[in-house]
Amino acid sequence: MKALVFGGAGQLGRALQAKAGDGWTIETVDLPECDITDEGAIKAMIAGSDCDIVINAAAHTAVDRAESERELAQKINGDAPGWIAQQCSASSKALVHISTDFVFGEGHYEPIKPDAKPSPLSVYGATKLAGELAAKVALPDVLIIRTSRVYAAKGTNFVLAMLRLMAEQDELSVVADQIGSPTAAGDLADAVTRFADAGATGVYHFTNDGMCSWHEFAIAVAEESVAVGLLEGYPIITAVPTSSYPTPARRPAYSVLDKQTAWGVLGGPARHWRDALREIILEIKENG
């Protein structure tokens, strides 16, 4: 299987590159090779590729900045998936499109199923939903995988942000009333290739198993880091409500995704988020 990956410089893009081998050839593109806001460039890139499948891992993921960059977010998150799907249809190529738990909003108190009605609270969520819809219209057999709280040993993510703060401060406050499931980029990349190998189409949810608040996740980052000597000691991590940390974008209080249909395709659940975090912390320490 040969894949063309948009968003190759991102966390998932890099993790997919590591999947090269085992029957997969991975070609990644990002700026400056291809501008994801340029319809012609996208279609030319796909038309000129001998890939079997396109994986769209490109996204405007700066949730708060998207509130003031609506047009850009719409082009990247909303329009580009439709352009990609149109060319995949014309070129007879399969497509995997990566989406987000932020297509859902308030009123959820148990894991959210793939067929639940979306109700995004932010520009980011709304534009990602628009991208899903555009891709499905252009290519009904698209595979859409929604995920959440993706992180890796490199990039811009919660784990690395917490480690920087913990190295600089003895005390920090972290939101405790937003519940979700962290996802290691490598585990998501593995799931993407396994879904594709299975020929899956439709909408699936994938994250690491389990759930936690951002506060609980921060405590786990500290504990795992101290255990391997990445941090010298524990900072004081105070739980605060969302109201104490206002942001431009609204975020859902509960966005745990139901993965039962995904587990059926993949043959069982992903590992627990804490186990994945432990591995990433070790990788961060080894990389210096």
Q: Which residues are catalytic?
A: 124
Residue 186 to residue 19: CA distance in whole angstroms: 9
**Is residue 151 within 8 Å of 191, Cβ to Cβ?**
no
DSSP code at position 245: S
Residue 84 to residue 38: CA distance in whole angstroms: 11
Token pair in block for residue 223:
């504990």
CA distances from 258 to 54, 211, 254 (A): 25, 11, 12
Is 60 in a helix, a strand, or coil? coil
Q: Measuring CA to CA, which residue among 72, 134, 137, 70 is closest to residue 99?
A: 134
Residue 186 to residue 113: CA distance in whole angstroms: 23
**Is residue 42 within 8 Å of 131, Cβ to Cβ?**
no
- Element at 156 (helix H, strand E): none
Token pair in block for residue 228:
């391997």
Q: Measuring CA to CA, which residue among 83, 2, 103 is closest to residue 36?
A: 83
**Is residue 162 within 8 Å of 226, Cβ to Cβ?**
no
- Element at 15 (helix H, strand E): helix 11-17
